[in-house]
Structure 1
Amino acid sequence: MVIATLAFIDQLGAKKAVLVGHSAGCLVAVEAYFEAPERVAALVLVAPAIFVPVFRRKGVKEYGVGEQEWQNKKDSNGSNLPTNPLNRIWGKFLELCLWIAGFLMNMIRAIGSIVRSLYCKAVVAVLRSSVGVRLVRLVMDKFGILAVRNAWYDPSKVTDHVIQGYTKPLRSRGWEMALLEYTISMIMDSISSSKVPVSERLSEISCPVLVVSGDTDRLVPRWNTERVARAIPGAGFEVIKNSGHLPQEERPEEFVSVVERFLRKAFGRPSEQEKLFQAAA
């Protein structure tokens, strides 16, 4: 998806592009930025399906939990060996306890990582089997339309025409495998030791970013969307009232106004030549 996005920018003959992502599409937009930041002028993330954990992972300390702080504290006192024999014994005992605690914590992390990796690989194996295809079809048949209705602020406005628009891609040949492979790629990225999760790299984004949420989004909670905005330096955050997971469809005028205001703030007002071009279009 990322390669296809960048290839599409090339196809347009543009040096840079403003990428607009919605829900899981925000992952593609952000990944495209990390892949080629020089090609992305700005990001507009609508109801981003990027979970930002409340507690961030911290790097494992070299000497185990708390031991480096103890070592620094001893060094700051100007002596590594207390003069009192009892203090020396007590200090060694504390060092041993801290080492054991660090060893146990690292072992627990390693076991947890192994279990998680095995679990994810088992899930991937199931998804790539015929069972996975049947499972996807079952979920979409049973809960697909329900999910669409819950995505809207006012479910009564979800007409048959709207539902047909969302289910049309599901009539394409091979859509099940496409959805499965996309899901599998996200699972494999989550357990990859060489790839940092997107949620932990948001602070690296330096281009202008606008994050948009519906005030009654039932699929991607507003509080998580706000956390995404806070994690990105200088990102704007806008809430569109009386809309759910699809503010661009339920409140198109408000959505366009919010995005236009963001673009003007980021890049200035359009030139007269651009205005004439827009009028002609």
Structure 2
Amino acid sequence: MKRFFGWLFIIVALTLLVGPYLVPIDPLEGVVPPESLADKDSRFIEVDGLSVHYKEAGSSAPQFLLLHGFGASTFTWREVMDDFAGHGRTVAYDRTAFGLTERPVEWQGDNPYAVTAQVRQGFDLMTALGMETAVLVGNSAGGRTALSLALARPERVRALVLVSPAVGFGSGGILRWFKPLLETPQMDRLGPWFVRRIATSGNDTIRMAWYDPSLMTPDVVEGYRQPLKAQDWDRALWEFTRAPRDELTAHGVKGPIEERLAELKGIPVLVITGDDDRIVPVDRSKAVADGIPGSQYVELPNCGHVPQEECPQPFFAAVEAFLKSSEIILPPPEPAVAETPAEPAPAAG
């Protein structure tokens, strides 16, 4: 019996060690350089040695920097881009691994997919575009990145709008336990294969983000899937998945965002979510708001994880009210009332 289990252990071990190298992984077909997928209003700028895709509208202060979530791109801001631009210069960009921003598969030095690199990229993009300060608007994982930016350089963040922010509160333990497995050569080979299967298996994950999936027209689905035509999207998404997730505070100390929310007490903050968010539960968004002194919290009825897409009008109305209450934007001055000239006194008879 001992010999049987000994041989069984050897067979299982060999299968785990060698099996991944026996799985055929075909090269991606039909992929093209990201620039060839650009829209008419797309722009590209080199930041930290990478070509970053962004869109810009509006002018003057205040300035807004829009950060999308996992698996999304600048496309997620299409319904509210002009609304923000009506109040100031607005820039939406594709974070590394997403959209049409360059996807490095080899690099020297810091991992470009790590949180620290994402934070540096955000600030370096702001600097390259002449944005000394900005209101950061982040959805889901983009909200978490916005929080990291604010903790690292609070003096450059005028306000935060956190849209269904992906902040865990105790959910990171499993990932930390699982992370060493992601670093093995076997998973390095299989990772992009798994990513392809998940990303191309259907639209169920996208539909989960919406309260009313019937609003997801074929054009919306295509907008989300367009970046899957870019070269190396599978490898980049895999590298992002297993990249270091350590966040930095303003003093360069690593630590979980969940434990440092109170440090943001000097920054105006709005946390806004749909009341039927099935990606980031509503209680997590509420916990973020509760952890930041003086923050505002809004739940939009009959809305899901991407209220800027599904409920753009009530979403921006709430954002606009927050910006006015925080004096980020000011109401237009009252029109001057012309004085009515006095009637001339009647001449003496």
Q: Same fold (TM over 0.5)?
A: yes
1:120–1:261 distance in 2 versus 1, CA, 3 Å: same
**3-state secondary structure, aligned to 2:326:** helix
Equivalent position of 1:169 in the other structure: 227
Matched, 1:204 2:243: no
Equivalent position of 1:49 in the other structure: 166
Matched, 1:264 2:324: yes
- What is the RMSD computed on CA atoms of the aligned residues? 2.5
Paired residue type of 1:11:
A
Contact residue 48 and residue 220 of structure 1 kept, 8 A: yes
2:311 to 240, 245, 251: 251
**3-state secondary structure, aligned to 1:142:** coil
Instruction: State the Cα distance separating 1:203 from its structure 2 match.
Output: 1.5
**3-state secondary structure, aligned to 2:298:** strand
Paired residue type of 2:278:
R
Moved over 3 A (4+): 115-119
Greater Cα shift, 132-141 or 176-185: 176-185
Instruction: State the Cα distance separating 1:2 from its structure 2 match.
Output: 1.4
Deviations 1:123-151 (A, max 9, x none): 233686120000101111125x1111111
Paired residue type of 1:196:
G
Percent of aligned pairs sharing the same letter: 38
Equivalent position of 2:52 in the other structure: none
**Aligned pairs for 1:69-108 within 5 A:** none
**Aligned pairs for 1:1-281 within 5 A:** 1-53=118-170, 119-125=178-184, 129-143=188-202, 145-186=203-244, 188-189=245-246, 195-206=254-265, 207-267=267-327, 269-270=329-330, 272=332
Count how many residue pairs are aligned between Structure 1 and Structure 2. 209
Q: Distance in 1 between matches of 2:328 and 2:212?
A: 36
Instruction: State the Cα distance separating 1:118 from its structure 2 match.
Output: 6.5
Contact residue 126 and residue 132 of structure 1 kept, 8 A: no
Deviations 1:164-204 (A, max 9, x none): 00111121112223222222225x538xxx62111111111
Deviations 1:31-55 (A, max 9, x none): 111221111001110011111239x
Which stretches in structure 1 are left out of the alignment for 5+ residues? 55-112, 274-281
1:38–1:116 distance in 2 versus 1, CA, 3 Å: closer
Which stretches in structure 2 are left out of the alignment for 5+ residues? 1-117, 248-252, 334-349
Contact residue 189 and residue 195 of structure 1 kept, 8 A: yes
Contact residue 270 and residue 322 of structure 2 kept, 8 A: yes
More helix by share: 1
Greater Cα shift, 44-53 or 127-136: 127-136
Q: Distance in 1 between matches of 2:328 and 2:138?
A: 22
More strand by share: 2
Contact residue 141 and residue 166 of structure 2 kept, 8 A: yes
Return the TM-score normalized by structure 2.
Answer: 0.55
Contact residue 273 and residue 285 of structure 2 kept, 8 A: yes
